[in-house]
Structure 1
Amino acid sequence: LIQDDGGTLLPDGSFHGFEAGGIFAKTEGVNPGNQIEIFYGLLKPETLCENVHVTEDGDFDLYNFKKTSNGRAVILRKDFMHASPYVDVDRVDNLILITRGPSIPALSRLTLEEAVALMVLGQAMESSAGDPTRAGRIKSEFFYDPFVAGDRAKHANLFYEILRGLPHINYYLINTGGVGEGEHYEDIRLEYTLAILDSLLRGGLEDWVDSPTGFEVPMSVRHVDDIYLHPENFYSEIEFEEKQKELNKIRREAIEQLGNSLHSNIRDVFIKP
């Protein structure tokens, strides 16, 4: 782990992180089974916790949300397993966007323009820290950052121009929620996401095919059932086509809000014939 909060991507392809001292973590429901780094980091004496329930015996109760579920912690880098002592890297090779949605494959390969357009959309999940009444619902946040100031089209165009000068970078979209709906819903469990990342970063994905979503998906991923790559199989052909049209309409309308100064290559991403 190099950086968990933010940083700057420079035109030479290097990345410079913002936070050198600690790792920020959500504490809600953390357990050693699936978040071992955070769990044992919370037990370190120098860790700073906020909004975490403490029992009469002085122990953390990470499942007690009577007052709030917005538990946070700052864990020193030296106390966090797999955290690098450095916050900068000389070269970025992959840009992986995270989202959720029942009709989005567990992994998609994107073009540069699609990646920038999806950064403009910034579709993410609302947390209890932002709006507790909408926690768990999908929201759109430009570049996944509510604190961006200034002309958003200029931000997006600058990002696009930087990436155009870095042709070696690969772009991907990962769905960490689930596919399908109702009784046909299938959760994309943490171990599936980790298997996808393992295959992606270790060069195990060589064959890609077109998807009705408009992106590309891998032919197969080790340890992951193909159903998670083909959400269209949970719907009739007509139903999925209508869902895709509606999703692209929402995407297109959100991007149009940035105006005509946004590069046309980005504005036209979700305009399909």
Structure 2
Amino acid sequence: MNPLVELAGAGYAYEDGPAVLSGVDFAIAPGRALALLGRNGSGKTTLMRLLSGGLRPAAGELRLDGAVVTHDRAGLTRLRTSVQLVVQDPDDQLFAASVEQDVSFGPMNLGLAAEEVRARVDAALTALDITALRDRPTHLLSYGQRKRAAIAGAVAMAPRVLILDEPTAGLDPDGQERLLDVLAGLRAAGTTVVMATHDVDLAVRWADDAAVLTPAGIRLGPAESLLADPGLLTSAGLRPAWAPAVTALLRGQGLLSPHLPGPKTPEALAAWR
């Protein structure tokens, strides 16, 4: 499949600092759930901001549908109608007086007709299950509600690629499950989702593909096999995933055929047993 958005030979360095990323070739395929993993300082946030147009590559180029993205007003508007980034802290993204006003800000800036803006806001609030919060002041929302409101603002832009920086951080287990249900709904509606996370077990369970940032570069591949590599995870400062470890143990004891997939969650293990 041709990638929706990609970096080719891209590099970036912050002012008066060493290169954070160098010679990066990275592509996001349509219809996939991609987990982005690496230790703090590995370049995950920089990579996401390059992909979403928040930063301009110091070397190489960013492409959308195979065409180079220009970092002028027209080029960035074209990019941001296809790619949206939601930052980790919702308070860095929410600014309007009410949820509805915040979610409508992006579509209104696209110059859409009022009817289209309303339709997009309604659809985004429904997708994130926060319709009842439409008129709620953003400063009165719980942390989980603020997370969903921030995502709704991105969803209202109708992007083809939604990039989320640690969306489950700070959420309790129930909040995490509700958010994952929301992401499943967005994927079913055709949105490609990229999630940065430190939770390897979550990545194994949720993602089709994984990208692991290490000092040697970025490794990209199927999540289940890539995240079963303990050496790769160690080099990235990550803990091995529970599910691949259990699967390897079961196979080592002759209790699971090498031709059958292993369990991905405790519930799947209980059902398999």
TM-score for both structures, normalised by structure 1: 0.24
Q: Which has the higher helix share?
A: 2
TM-score for both structures, normalised by structure 2: 0.24
